[in-house]
Amino acid sequence: MNKQIASFLNSFESQLKVMSPGRINFIGEHTDYNNGFVLPAAIDKKITFSFRKSVSKTQCTILSTTYQKLFTFSIDKISIREATWENYIVGVVAEMQKIISGIGAFDCIIDSDLPLGSGVSSSAALECGIAYGLNALFKLNLSTLQMIEISQRAEHEYVGTKCGIMDQYAVMKSKEGAVLLLDCLINKHSYIEASFDPYVIVLLNTNVSHNLASSEYNTRREECEFVVNTIRKDSNNVSSLRDVTFLQLQQYKDQLSKNHYERAAYVLEENERVLAAVECLKTGNLKQFGSLMYASHRGLQYQYDVSCPELDFLVDFSETNKEILGSRMMGGGFGGCTINLIHKNAVDDFVKEASKAYKEKFGIALTSFVTVPSQGTSMYS
Ligand code: GLA
C-alpha cells in the first residue's frame, strides 16, 4: 500500500456509511430506453462507502480499496477525467450540482465485492451510492427518483453510455425478497414477492467484456429511435416503441431494413414476455417463467444481436439440463453474466460441468455465484 493511501486511511473517521448493491434482471432486456417493462432486483453483492465532510474547503479525496487508487478533485471545478470509474463519481457530483446547491467538499472510501464489468451494474451501484451518500451527508432532501435520474445522467454525460433507467432504479428501489416490475414509460414500479424455491438464481460470469458493448449499445438505441421516427411520420401519437403495435410494425416492414425491423420486433415481443413472466411469478409457474427466459435470450441473440459466442455457449449448455428452468444473457450484452434458474440440488454439479466445458471451448475460467433479491441502496452502521 502506498504512503498516501495508508495515511488517508489512518486519518479517516467515517460520518456516514452507505451500501449500494448490484442488480440482476430476470427479463426485459433493452426495453428500458424504449419505455417498456423490466423485471430486475438488487443482489446481495454490493459496494460500500464511508463518507465524511472534508477538512479542506474544496478538495475531495476518494479512495478505492479495490483498485488501491486514490484521486482528488475540487468540488468547485469538476471536469471529465481519464479513468472511467472516477467519472461515475464526479459525474454524479456534477449532475447534482446542476439541480441543487449545498454540496460541500467530501472524502470517501469505497470498497466492493461486486464483480466489475460483468453485467451486474457495478456502475449504477457506484453512482447511486455516491448520490445517496451526498444527499444524506449534506441533507439535500433530494427524492429517490431525483437521485436515480442524476445517476443515469452522470452515465450519459460523463461516461458516454446512453443507458436506460433500469439499473439505477433497481439499485435504489429494490427490497429484500421481491422483484421489481418497472414501467419505464412512467417510471413507476410494483414489487412482486418472489419465491423460487427449490430453484435458485445462479449467475455464470463469462469473464469476457467485448469492447463493442458501449458503441453497439448506443447504436441499438438509435436503431429503435429510427423505427419510431419512421412510424411517427404518419402517426404523431407514437413517441416510443411502447406506442407501436405489432400490426403497425408489420405495416412498415417494407420501409425498414431487416435489422431495424428485427430490433423493433424484439422489443415488442420482450415487453409481452415481461408481463407474461410476472403472471408466472404470481401463479408460481416457474417452468413457464424459465421458458420465457430462454425465449428472451434467443431474441437478444438473433433479433437484437447483442449476445456473443461465450454467452450463447452457456445458454445452449444449460438447455440440455433438465434441472435448469431458464437461462439468458443479462444486461447490455457482449459479455458479462448469464442468469440461470437452477434446482438447488443441481447447482454444484452443473457449475462444475459448465466450467469444464467453457474452459475447453474458450480457454477462459468461468466464475459463478448464487444470489437472492436483496435490499437496495441504504445506510448501515
Ligand atoms: C445496461 C443499461 C440498462 C439496460 C440494459 C439492457 O445495463 O445500463 O439501462 O438498457 O443494459 O437491458
Q: Residue 115 pLDDT more than 90?
A: no
CA within 13 Å, CB half, 351: 23
Rounded CA-CA distance 363/371 in Å is: 26
pLDDT the model gives residue 28: 98
Closest residue by Cα to residue 189 from 270, 262, 274? 274
Pick the catalytic residue: 32, 107, 167, 305?
167
Instruction: Please check whether residue 296 is in contact with residue 29, taking contact to mean a CB–CB distance below 8 angstroms.
Output: yes
Ligand 1, closest atom to CA 165?
Answer: 9
Mean pLDDT of 241-266: 98
Pocket test for ligand 1, best of 24, 32, 338 (most atoms within 8 A of CB): 32
Pocket test for ligand 1, best of 23, 151, 166, 187 (most atoms within 8 A of CB): 166
Residues 46-99: pLDDT tens digits?
A: 999 999 999 999 999 999 999 999 999 999 999 999 999 999 999 999 999 999
Q: 13: buried, middle or exposed (CB in 10 Å: 19+, 13-18, 0-12)? A: exposed
Total residues belonging to the chain: 381
Mean pLDDT of 198-215: 89
List, chain by chain if needed, residues with CB within 6 Å of any ligand 1 atom. Answer: 29-30, 32-33, 121, 163-164, 166-167, 331-332
Q: Residue 116 pLDDT more than 90?
A: no
Handedness of CA 229, 233, 239, 241 (dihedral sign): negative
What's phi and psi for 80, nearest 5 deg? -65, 140
Residues near 257 by Cβ (< 8 Å), separated by ≥ 6?
A: none
CA distances for 289 relative to 27, 102, 112, 252, angstroms:
9, 47, 32, 31
User: Ligand 1 centroid to 31 CA: how many Å?
Assistant: 8
Q: Residue 1 pLDDT more than 80?
A: no
pLDDT the model gives residue 118: 81
Q: Residue 154 pLDDT more than 90?
A: yes
| DSSP conformation class of 115 | P
Strand bridging mode 335-343 / 324-329: antiparallel
* Angular region, 222: left φ>0, alpha ψ -120 to 50, beta rest: alpha
pLDDT the model gives residue 211: 72
Handedness of CA 239, 240, 246, 252 (dihedral sign): positive
Instruction: Please check whether residue 327 is in contact with residue 306, taking contact to mean a CB–CB distance below 8 angstroms.
Output: no
Residue nearest to atom 11 of ligand 1 (CA): 332
User: Ligand 1 centroid to 333 CA: how many Å?
Assistant: 9
Rounded CA-CA distance 334/329 in Å is: 9
Instruction: Please check whether residue 78 is in contact with residue 97, taking contact to mean a CB–CB distance below 8 angstroms.
Output: yes
pLDDT the model gives residue 258: 98
pLDDT the model gives residue 363: 98
Ligand 1, closest atom to CA 166?
Answer: 9
Closest residue by Cα to residue 338 from 310, 362, 357, 379? 310
Instruction: Name the grid cell of 164.
Output: 436506460
Instruction: Please check whether residue 39 is in contact with residue 278, taking contact to mean a CB–CB distance below 8 angstroms.
Output: yes
| DSSP conformation class of 102 | -
Residue nearest to atom 9 of ligand 1 (CA): 164
pLDDT the model gives residue 209: 84
Q: Residue 37 pLDDT more than 90?
A: yes
User: Ligand 1 centroid to 64 CA: how many Å?
Assistant: 25
User: Ligand 1 centroid to 164 CA: how many Å?
Assistant: 6
User: Ligand 1 centroid to 8 CA: how many Å?
Assistant: 35
Pocket test for ligand 1, best of 167, 180, 304 (most atoms within 8 A of CB): 167
Ligand 1, closest atom to CA 217?
Answer: 11
Closest residue by Cα to residue 98 from 56, 157, 163, 145? 157
Maximum Cα–Cα distance across the chain: 67
Ligand 1, closest atom to CA 164?
Answer: 9
User: Ligand 1 centroid to 29 CA: how many Å?
Assistant: 7
Least trusted range by pLDDT, from 2-6, 146-150, 166-170, 280-284 = 2-6
Rounded CA-CA distance 357/345 in Å is: 20
Ligand 1, closest atom to CA 161?
Answer: 8
Mean pLDDT of 178-193: 97
Residue nearest to atom 8 of ligand 1 (CA): 163
pLDDT the model gives residue 191: 98
Residues 224-252: pLDDT tens digits?
A: 999 999 999 999 999 999 999 999 999 99
Residues near 216 by Cβ (< 8 Å), separated by ≥ 6?
A: 306, 333, 334
Instruction: Please check whether residue 62 is in contact with residue 86, taking contact to mean a CB–CB distance below 8 angstroms.
Output: yes
Centre a 10 Å sphere on the Cβ of residue 265 and count the other Cβ atoms it contains.
21
pLDDT the model gives residue 371: 97
Is 111 marked active-site?
A: no
